[in-house]
Amino acid sequence: MIEIQRPTFEASDPDVEASNPESWVSLRRFLSSRNRGAYLWGPCGTGKTFGAECILAQVDSVSVVTAPEFVRIMRLFSPGESLKKWKFTKILLLDDIDKANWKPADVRSLWEVLNARMKAYKLTSYTDHPTEENTLLVNTTFKARKTIITGNVQADELRSFLTNCADGNITLIQSLFQRLHPIQVLEFKGKSLR
Ligand SMILES: Nc1ncnc2c1ncn2[C@@H]1O[C@H](COP(=O)(O)OP(=O)(O)OP(=O)(O)O)[C@@H](O)[C@H]1O
Ligand SMILES: [Mg+2]
């Protein structure tokens, strides 16, 4: 039998982490931070997917998709159907964002997913005993719906890349990144670990 071990922070190699100490500290804090998004970027084989999966291992509802798979699935199914898959999970990992052949409609689909996740993020609770002074709206809590993205290019390059893919629709890309705000950008340096 082949045993597949999922990456976890416990199993993570301290020598590997020593190449990018600040990023690894931030990864460990990501779940409890107020960041809605994280963008892990750097050369191939430096531990971005591994790091993201360590976060996923801490959470009971996750979805993982590579960008080429995301594009393929979105093109195959109706937006409503494919949205269900990604809308409510606590963490979505969109791996290798710069590896897909995004068309403008695919970028809009990504916007739709991130928009749905942002809306699911904000929950409002109401009192059981409303009075005249005490309005119905009592409390707004924030429930984590976080999205982690990995790629090889730095954040500015990713914005230009996606803008080009979206036929120059810069407003769409600004709006897309707004839906990940506040976003933490983590750089991974070093040689490939493969
Ligand atoms: N902290 C770590 N501890 C132990 N092994 C690690 C660690 N980080 C990465 N690795 C191992 O290094 C290899 C490369 O890591 P990973 O796949 O995460 O790279 P990547 O940055 O996502 O690369 P790419 O840009 O090509 O997707 C994998 O075999 C992974 O298991
Ligand atoms: Mg990877």
The 10s digit of each residue's pLDDT in 27-57 is 999 999 989 999 999 999 999 999 999 999 9
Ion ligand 2 residue ranges (Cβ < 5 Å):
49
Report helix, strand or coil for 39.
Answer: strand
The position carrying tokens 């493969």 is 194
Confidence band of 83 (pLDDT split at 50, 70, 90): confident
Check residue 63 and give its pLDDT: 93
Number of H helices, E strands in the chain: 8, 7
Which atom number of ligand 1 is nearest to the Cα of residue 151?
Answer: 25
Give residues (CB < 6 A) around ligand 1: 12-13, 16-17, 44-50, 96, 150, 152, 188, 193-194
Q: Please give the distance, rounded to the nearest whole angstrom, from the Cα atom of residue 52 to the centre of ligand 2.
A: 9
Which atom number of ligand 1 is nearest to the Cα of residue 152?
Answer: 25
Q: Which ligand is located closest to the Cα atom of residue 19? A: 1
Digit-coded pLDDT (tens) for 127-168: 555 555 554 444 545 566 899 999 999 999 999 999 999 999
Which atom number of ligand 1 is nearest to the Cα of residue 50?
Answer: 18
Name the closest-CA residue to atom 1, ligand 1.
Answer: 12
* Cα–Cα distance for residue pair 112/119, rounded to 1 Å: 11
Q: Model-level pTM?
A: 0.90
**What is the set of domains in the chain, with CATH numbers?**
15-187 (3.40.50.300)
Confidence band of 5 (pLDDT split at 50, 70, 90): confident
Give how far Cα 65 sits from Cα of 13, 83, 92, 133, 134, Å.
25, 13, 8, 48, 45
Confidence band of 59 (pLDDT split at 50, 70, 90): very high
Q: Please give the distance, rounded to the nearest whole angstrom, from the Cα atom of residue 26 to the centre of ligand 1.
A: 17
Check residue 119 and give its pLDDT: 81
For residue 117, the one-letter residue type is: R
